Structure 1
Amino acid sequence: MSGTVIAAAVDGDQDAWDTIVERFSAMVWRIARGFRLNAADAADVSQVTWLRVVEHLDALREPDALGAWIAVTARREALQLLRRRREIPVDDTMWTEAADDDAPAPGQRLLRDERNRELWDAFQRLPLRCRTVLRMLVLESPGSYAAVAAALEVPIGSLGPARGRCLDALRQELRLTEGVTR
């Protein structure tokens, strides 16, 4: 998507906005339905996704990342809808069961939590493109490479190398973190 179309949409050009919606609405719908939402819930996710786009389109720094940004937004909105609707059943027997002998010791849990914090801090320092690629391929219930390539608007053959470069960048960030903390 060109930066001029995005800039025009931000400035209130209805034709530019219609171009963006026409280009990405099917993708937003597929993502919502991919979470096995019924049509009404998928429509809600779609509507909220487009609301987020309207609210934040002017903050988009990389026009080429618009499709990926919309895809990630749709996924987040679908997950939020599922979280709001999920009821957690309470089973009273869980309080009377014996302790889990395989559970990590408190010290191990603390070390794991610290490692996870360092990982997420390093992840946040990655460029937006790498964070988007890794989220779509690894973190958020990955779909097919074809679907991810379409959402990112890149050739399918470039996803593996891009993922590899982004993981290398993440490893480098973690090495830098280790050098600072040790």
Structure 2
Amino acid sequence: MTDAPAVTALVIRAREGDQDAWNELVDRYAPLVWSICRRYGLARSDIDDVAQNVWLRAVGQLKALREPAALPGWLATTTKHECSRVFRARRRQEGTEQPLDFEMTPDDESKLIEQELEAAERNATLRAAFAELSSTCQRILLLRIEGVPYEEISTRLGMSIGSIGPTRARCLEKLRANPALVALMTTESSRSEQYG
């Protein structure tokens, strides 16, 4: 499940030189690239190299992409190929020629890529909804996610300790009520009921 119209619009804008659109594409799909690299068990430095190569290739291929909505799949496939290339190079350096222990059937690979794309879309939707919250809500929620105690939040934000919990609850309610998140959750709920 990808948000094809939004992806298409971003790709078209990025093709026309819109840096904000390009940044949004990178923000939206960097987690996809990262998760595929992690699945290959690459070291952090290799992941950074693969990601850089994938995004450089994406810049070059953006105008040639016939179906803009296909960008997420193209990124996943390109990342997979780059990971395989790096992994094979590492094995040659180490003098091992063992088969890859994570090779998958095409069906398994297709399912995995679809799951990664769905996760990337979910994350992008959540980030966009989070960005629509007030700065106070964003700060409270981030501090709580980091496990910062109420006393420290009170000091950092200049709020009374007693108001942090109710404010946090209102912020979470605003986040849950975001139309894009509601639509996403409804779609995922109906899909899980359908496929059981």
Q: Structure 1 length as normaliser, TM-score?
A: 0.52
| Structure 1 residue 29 corresponds to structure 2 residue 29 | no
Identity of aligned residues (%): 35
Question: What is residue 146 of structure 1 aligned with on the other side?
Answer: 115
Q: Is the 8 A contact 1:68 1:151 kept in 2?
A: no
CA distance in 1, matches of 2:43, 2:36: 12
Q: Is the 8 A contact 2:73 2:113 kept in 1?
A: no
Q: Is the 8 A contact 1:6 1:57 kept in 2?
A: yes
Question: What is residue 77 of structure 1 aligned with on the other side?
Answer: 82
Summarize deviations over 1:76-127 as a string: whole Å, max 9, x none: 111111112212459xxxxxxxxxxxxxxxxxxxxxxxxxxxxxxxxxxxxx
Question: What is residue 4 of structure 1 aligned with on the other side?
Answer: 9
Question: What is residue 126 of structure 1 aligned with on the other side?
Answer: none
Unaligned runs of 5+ in 1: 91-133, 162-182
| Structure 1 residue 42 corresponds to structure 2 residue 47 | yes
CA distance in 2, matches of 1:144, 1:3: 19
Relative to 1, partners in 2 of residues 1:89 and 1:144: Cα closer, same or farther, differing over 3 Å? Answer: closer
Summarize deviations over 1:26-45 as a string: whole Å, max 9, x none: 11111111100111111111
Q: Which SS does the other structure have where 1:59 is aligned?
A: coil
Q: By how many angstroms is 1:9 displaced?
A: 0.7
Q: By how many angstroms is 1:4 displaced?
A: 2.7
Question: What is residue 166 of structure 2 aligned with on the other side?
Answer: none
Unaligned runs of 5+ in 2: 1-5, 98-104, 123-186
Where do 4+ consecutive residues of structure 1 move more than 6 Å?
none
Q: CA RMSD in A?
A: 3.2
- Count residues in correspondence: 114
Residue pairs, 1:83-122, within 5 angstroms: 83-87=88-92, 88-89=95-96
Q: Which SS does the other structure have where 2:72 is aligned?
A: helix
CA distance in 2, matches of 1:47, 1:83: 18
| Structure 1 residue 63 corresponds to structure 2 residue 52 | no
Which amino acid in 2 is paired with 1:24?
Answer: Y
Q: Structure 2 length as normaliser, TM-score?
A: 0.49
Q: Is the 8 A contact 2:76 2:113 kept in 1?
A: no
Relative to 1, partners in 2 of residues 1:13 and 1:77: Cα closer, same or farther, differing over 3 Å? Answer: same
Which amino acid in 2 is paired with 1:38?
Answer: A
